[in-house]
């Protein structure tokens, strides 16, 4: 399954959560394809089609140590400590739920 289709499934999983704002149609740039809670992004597809979630920095460290993700770079050469890029082998919906609980 393609990343866009997988992310659409993740978005659909939050359809019944009134506190989650789905991606904004026609939006461009950073966070255009993002799930938000209280206006803050907690999960998204970046411009490269990679799935990215915002978690507790300690949890990100655990995932990196386990080889289960990579640090997210904001495009300016700066790794963001609370953001992790997850691969296609990961359960995106599970990590999105975890990120939502933190949001």
Q: Across residues 12-33, what is the average pLDDT?
A: 90
Residue with tokens 């989650």: 20
d(CA 92, CA 56): 16
In the chain, domain spans: 3-102
| Contact present, 86 and 95 (Cβ < 8 Å) | yes
**Distance (Å) of CA 85 to CA 19, 43, 77, 79, 98:** 24, 10, 15, 11, 14
Orientation angle between helical segments 3-12 and 92-102, nearest 10 degrees: 50
The string of pLDDT tens digits covering residues 24-62 is 887 887 778 999 999 999 999 998 999 999 999 999 999
User: pTM of this prediction?
Assistant: 0.92
pLDDT band at 92 (very low <50, low <70, confident <90, very high): very high
* Domain made up of 3-102: CATH architecture: Alpha-Beta Complex (3.90)
d(CA 48, CA 37): 23
């Amino acid at each position: 399954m393609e990343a866009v289709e997988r992310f659409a499934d993740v978005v659909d999983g939050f359809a019944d959560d009134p506190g989650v704002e789905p991606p904004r149609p026609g939006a461009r740039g950073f966070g255009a394809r993002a799930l938000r809670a209280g206006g803050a992004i907690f999960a998204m597809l970046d411009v490269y089609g990679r799935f990215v979630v915002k978690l507790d920095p300690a949890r990100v460290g655990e995932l990196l140590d386990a080889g289960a993700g990579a640090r997210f770079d904001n495009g300016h050469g700066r790794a963001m400590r609370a953001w992790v890029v997850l691969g296609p082998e990961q359960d995106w919906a599970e990590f999105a739920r975890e990120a939502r609980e933190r949001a």
